[in-house]
Structure 1
Amino acid sequence: MSGTSSTADQPRDSNRRHRVFRNPLVVRLTHWLSALALLILTMSGMQIFNAHAALYASDASDFAHPALAIGGGMDSRGDPKGFVQFGSRRISTTHVLGWGPNGYGEEGPRAFPAWATMPPQQDLANGRRWHIAFAWIFVLCGLTFAPWALRLWPSRADMRALPHALRTHLLPWKVAPSAQQNPLQKLTYFGLVFIVVPIAILSGLALAPAVDSWAHWLPAIFGGRQFARIWHFAAMITIIVFFVGHVVMVALTGLVNNMRSMITGWLVVPQSAAAGGVVRPSAADEPAAKVPALS
């Protein structure tokens, strides 16, 4: 993640701002396509989960003792009741999870509400079609992005700078943009791309009967199909948490600047943070090279 810095003959004013070219076209395209694919994968995954809204911490379905279950029904007074169950503990989630919009203009027992699923109505077959189609799009984006993703590997210098990055991000609105990713960004993106996403893909394949028919060893890696469902669900939750955190950080650290960098490739940074990027002090200048990186 190195580049050519053309900082010669520039004023030594750390408050002066420059534009640096940070994200090449392939990074921007795969970023937005992956974001769309992850959105559809999450919504269609919730549709699939609704068909049997329970997870079991065993090699077989122990219907009486789910590790996690989302459900709903009527209580003793005839009022609707939604709940999330962790082991033997139940938490009321009426009108959020377990009981909510069913996609037909009414409310009813449903793990995830209609607005969160693809398609909105309960439709397992079409949910699987959406899921598989966008899984291919996501995998192709990942393969295209792989050469740039490898540059996310944190260096020793990054690890030494990690405590400082953690402290500065306690007040994210004060974090100054930089031509390069900070150590916290690198660790987060690297963990997502090379740990969470592979777990999501492999556990999803372990749940596919067509794959299980010729790769019996794949479900066994996760401890069986039921454990594979837990791994797949956990990966989805992790990706959702990352997505929410990512959007919040983008907004707090400069929404317009960050969005511009992922649309045009150019990021505005202070002169002191322009090292390692292709500096463009004025709109009339043209970049001498490009720096493959993420926002």
Structure 2
Amino acid sequence: MKSATFTEVQPNAEPAPVKTGTVIYRQSAWTRLTHWIWAIAIFFLLLSGLQIFNAHPALYIGKQSGFAFDNSVLRFTAEDTPAGPKGYTTVFGHRFDTTGVFGLSGPASDREARGFPSWATIPSYQDLATGRVIHFFFAWVLSITLLLWLIASLINGHIRRDLAPRGEDIRHLPRDIADHARLRFHHTGRYNTLQKFSYGIVLFILLPLMILTGLAMSPSMDSVIPFLTDILGGRQTARTIHFTVMVLLVLFFVVHIVMVLAAGPINELRSIITGWYRTDPPTGEKET
């Protein structure tokens, strides 16, 4: 690991204790490149995916759906009421008025019946064909880079060295959770316990599951891997899992951004842009 040491000297007339910190080369160029490719790909996948969802804004469990079935677990609808058009979200049979956000959105003078509002989809207007083209393109970008990252990380030891939890990580987990809850961060050259677990869940569970459920929803893949849809409980269940994983990834992104801002955005962004990261001063000294 490359490192560079710098010294801060206070401009005092009298000699003052020297406080030192270390700037280390924490993120490789390959890690930084894949991070930003994934960030861009997931952004376009999310917004184009919501465009596709709007073509039929409901989720089901099982292999079948339609007018003859009442097995939806989530549904966005718009209805005419005595008080005017209303948008509703139904979750496991419980209905909520979500006018202006879900089901019915847009300016008050020109409401439009659609699952997600125009600002949350690509394209902003209803265009299923364009949404599918964008979605499939970035799905391949995500899948290929994830596979290449996995192969490279196994070869160079990144997974074993930096991401695989060790026994000491398990022991430190309660303390790490408490430190994060109090927004107390330790800037070291290694990922902390919560980072290892959260990154591991995203990279080895959520993203692969997102890809697999996407493949299961594709009729063209039935001839290649016909058993995948059955393993996932049917095409409608696969679609529901796909949507749920999307929600979990959005929650991860929100928490991730909050942690970056709380831990020091300049230092964190410098790390993922240039690779260089400033660690805490030696124990016993306070960082200035």
TM-score interval, smaller chain: 0.7 to 0.9
Note if 1:197 corresponds to 2:203: no
| Corresponding residue number in structure 1 for 2:142 | 138
Aligned counterparts of 1:89 and 1:196: Cα–Cα separation in 2: 27
- How is 1:206-245 mapped onto 2 (pairs within 5 angstroms)? 206-245=216-255
| Corresponding residue number in structure 1 for 2:39 | 35
**Matched residue SS, 2:279:** strand
**Matched residue SS, 2:30:** helix
Q: 1:45–1:149: structure 2 CA closer, same or farther, 3 Å change rule?
A: farther
Aligned counterparts of 1:182 and 1:129: Cα–Cα separation in 2: 39
Note if 1:152 corresponds to 2:160: no
Aligned counterparts of 2:125 and 2:178: Cα–Cα separation in 1: 45
Aligned counterparts of 1:14 and 1:253: Cα–Cα separation in 2: 24
On the 8 A contact 1:14/1:270 being kept in 2, the answer is no
| Corresponding residue number in structure 1 for 2:75 | 69
- How is 1:110-149 mapped onto 2 (pairs within 5 angstroms)? 110-146=114-150, 147=153, 148-149=158-159
Q: 1:64–1:271: structure 2 CA closer, same or farther, 3 Å change rule?
A: same
Aligned counterparts of 2:103 and 2:85: Cα–Cα separation in 1: 10
| Corresponding residue number in structure 2 for 1:101 | 106
The one-letter amino acid of 2:202's match is L
| Corresponding residue number in structure 2 for 1:163 | 174
**Which TM-score applies when normalising by structure 1?**
0.83
Q: How far does residue 153 in structure 1 lie from its aligned partner after superposition?
A: 1.5
Q: How far does residue 76 in structure 1 lie from its aligned partner after superposition?
A: 2.3
**Matched residue SS, 2:241:** helix
**Matched residue SS, 1:67:** strand
**Matched residue SS, 2:173:** helix
The one-letter amino acid of 1:95's match is G
Q: 1:241–1:125: structure 2 CA closer, same or farther, 3 Å change rule?
A: same
Query: Cα deviation per residue 1:116-143 (whole Å; 9 max; x = unaligned)?
Result: 1111111111111001100111112212
Aligned counterparts of 1:240 and 1:113: Cα–Cα separation in 2: 17
Relative contact order, higher structure (CA 8 A, sep 6+): 1
Aligned counterparts of 1:52 and 1:205: Cα–Cα separation in 2: 19
Task: Please say which of residues 81-90 and 238-247 is displaced more in the overlay.
Answer: 81-90
Aligned counterparts of 2:231 and 2:255: Cα–Cα separation in 1: 30
**Matched residue SS, 1:177:** coil
Q: How far does residue 72 in structure 1 lie from its aligned partner after superposition?
A: 1.8
Note if 1:81 corresponds to 2:86: yes
Q: How many residues align?
A: 262
Aligned counterparts of 1:16 and 1:166: Cα–Cα separation in 2: 28
Q: How far does residue 28 in structure 1 lie from its aligned partner after superposition?
A: 0.7
| Corresponding residue number in structure 2 for 1:291 | none
**Which TM-score applies when normalising by structure 2?**
0.85
Query: Cα deviation per residue 1:70-120 (whole Å; 9 max; x = unaligned)?
Result: 12232222x231121112101111111111139xx9431111111111111
Aligned counterparts of 1:88 and 1:264: Cα–Cα separation in 2: 50
Aligned counterparts of 2:37 and 2:173: Cα–Cα separation in 1: 30
Structure 1 vs Structure 2: percent identity of aligned residues?
Answer: 38
Aligned counterparts of 2:104 and 2:19: Cα–Cα separation in 1: 54
Aligned counterparts of 2:169 and 2:263: Cα–Cα separation in 1: 20
Q: 1:254 aligns with which of 264, 267, 280?
A: 264
Q: How far does residue 265 in structure 1 lie from its aligned partner after superposition?
A: 0.5
Structure 2 portions without partners, runs of 5+:
6-16, 284-288
On the 8 A contact 2:34/2:149 being kept in 1, the answer is yes
4+ residue runs over 6 A deviation? 4-7
| Corresponding residue number in structure 2 for 1:55 | 59
Aligned counterparts of 2:192 and 2:146: Cα–Cα separation in 1: 22
Aligned counterparts of 2:18 and 2:88: Cα–Cα separation in 1: 55
Structure 1 portions without partners, runs of 5+:
8-12, 274-295
